[in-house]
Chains A and B, each alone.
Chain A
């Protein structure tokens, strides 16, 4: 009896210890987040209601004119539209590119698997700016692609590839692809190969197995990877600036311009919050639509 009582008491005591220590472990990270993220955001949010004056820089006020200016100016609406479009296309394309590779990496039993993972992670070690510079060398008028096309006689004059939307798309997709691959890979690894075999055994060909079994089961990975990549794309800065040129404007470079070039902090702050809110709203809408689909299928199944 006595031993039973002590063994029963011990786990409870241990749990109590963990509980008392837990909150303290969160303190450093919480302080960091409050100091370097929450506080500046609050300040910035307040700025977005101030009034801009070229002479006095910023006048304390409480006005919505910065937001009103954004939504009445076709130029800025266009910048936001471009940003959303780039983010959506890049997310979709990287999903299509990443899935087969992620599947291969999740399923391979080759001893080269870790080499494959390193190859995918490696680009993350190269900064965006360095990478954009590399793309310049590839896509420029004197770059490798044009050189190749000229010498092969496919074109007679260099084709403009740099400072085009195409260059931005390529550049951003290359940046976000590893994130998508790694997210999908970990989710696909969690799906047993045996369920795919079961589907095949029951008569499902590879495409049907993908559509009916693999894709629905990997949807959480698609949602997670899509969210991560979409947010990264929405906030892309270096790639659109360096590969898109001055004509191609996305939100992050636009708001940076407001802060540095025109020193219009209130409008810049408003742009920042519009970017943040639209990213947030689109992400939430996207994930709910997808996960409701997942959920729907289950509900549909229930009455049968």
Chain B
């Protein structure tokens, strides 16, 4: 296993910048997820690491060796493709053995390693099958075994779960994480699914328009998004636009004055991000909170969402544990007045700018 370093990696197609000076250090044994909407440059970045795309500028180092201009077959990466890309004319065992054969591993040793790799993904009994005789989940695991058996310096996964159904996706996700931990694999994982990224990764890299928006642990990204894009892309956020009148006091465009944490930003134009699940809802209008009218109640099982229109015309969505029978909140429906409360430290002040959520204010 080795450390992977991307140094101002850049890819241009004509005047289009697909990847814009991405720098990243993936520690030994770390799993980093590249996350972003389609076209954000995450797959291009991964393919540059694998060597399928030549960067326009920048450097890629694997285990201290500069591989920027090496062809894919001289890089020490093991890739799992979105389509699995199994060799259809070879059996499962031959697929897995291919990389060892290329490395001229002696036959006896290769056979042992193939068997061990297949046992690792619980497919030992299907070694003699052809890929087309396997289910999607099994093919996926063959692809994993094929990439892992060569002990790659860097393990690359390109949306490996996107072709699986929901239930299988969860299973394979856990399986990948366990394998990665057990083998201490330096891993880069590309996905557009934030839940997948949050549950799998040690650290996340959120990308948009080829630019890294933020790098951090799942918790860092969720609790302290660096900008409106991250606030809207990782989990959901209410966004209120307005200005910071003075340290600790935010006034929204709708005229709402709110107490906010007094750190960081200087007074001026600002946006305020607020997680729906940090907001409490009480029936009726009362002081000590923000009053509004319920526009929509959405029952989600464990939680219930209240979309509330404030007097200033802004909307805020609150997500609370579904009230039990007898709770006065249970009787609240569209048109009723409610009071919203939240601790001031739940508010996150961000630079005003384009956000990821088109529906401003109400998620």
- Please give the residue numbers on chain A whose beta carbons come within 8 Å of chain B beta carbons, in ascending order: 192, 194-195, 197-205, 208, 212-213, 216-217, 294, 297-298, 301-304
Contact = CB atoms under 8 A, between A and B. Distances in A.
B73 interface: yes
30 contacts: A192-B83, A194-B85, A195-B86, A197-B85, A198-B81, A200-B51, A200-B73, A201-B73, A201-B78, A201-B79, A201-B147, A202-B73, A202-B98, A202-B102, A202-B146, A202-B150, A203-B99, A203-B103, A204-B102, A212-B98, A213-B87, A297-B89, A298-B91, A301-B90, A301-B91, A301-B93, A301-B128, A304-B91, A304-B93, A304-B94
B130 interface: yes
A203 B85 contact: no
Interface of B: 50-52, 71-74, 77-79, 81, 83, 85-91, 93-94, 98-99, 102-103, 127-128, 130, 146-147, 150
Contact of A198 (B87, B93, B127, B130): B87
A303 B51 CA distance: 35
Contacts of A200: 51-52, 71-73
B72 A302 contact: no
B83 A194 contact: yes
Contacts of B71: 200, 205
Given A202-B102, A203-B73, A205-B73, A216 B89 contact: yes
Contacts of B99: 202-203
B78 to A, nearest CB: 7
A298 B130 contact: yes
B74 to A, nearest CB: 8
Given A217-B89, A301-B90, A201 B128 contact: no
A171 B285 CA distance: 93
A304 B91 CA distance: 9
Most buried by B among A194, A198, A297, A304: A198
Contacts of A192: 83, 85
B102 A301 contact: no
A194 B150 CA distance: 19
Contacts of B146: 198, 202
B128 A303 contact: yes
B94 A301 contact: yes
A195 B130 contact: no
Contacts of A204: 73, 98, 102
A115 B52 CA distance: 27
A213 B95 CA distance: 11
B87 A195 contact: yes
B130 A304 contact: no
A302 B91 contact: yes
A298 B147 CA distance: 22
A199 B89 contact: no
Given A202-B102, A204-B73, A298-B130, A217 B88 contact: yes
A298 B89 contact: yes
Contact of A203 (B81, B88, B150): B150
A181 B128 CA distance: 35
Contacts of B87: 195, 198-199, 213, 217
Contacts of A304: 91, 93-94, 127-128
Contacts of A294: 89
B127 A194 contact: no
Contacts of B86: 195, 198
Contacts of A213: 87
A304 B102 CA distance: 18
A198 B79 contact: yes
A260 to B, nearest CB: 50
Given A192-B83, A203-B103, A302-B128, A197 B52 contact: yes
A103 to B, nearest CB: 17
Contacts of B130: 298
The 8 closest A-B pairs by CB, nearest first: A203-B102, A202-B99, A194-B85, A198-B85, A200-B72, A301-B91, A201-B79, A200-B73
Contacts of A216: 89
B296 to A, nearest CB: 33
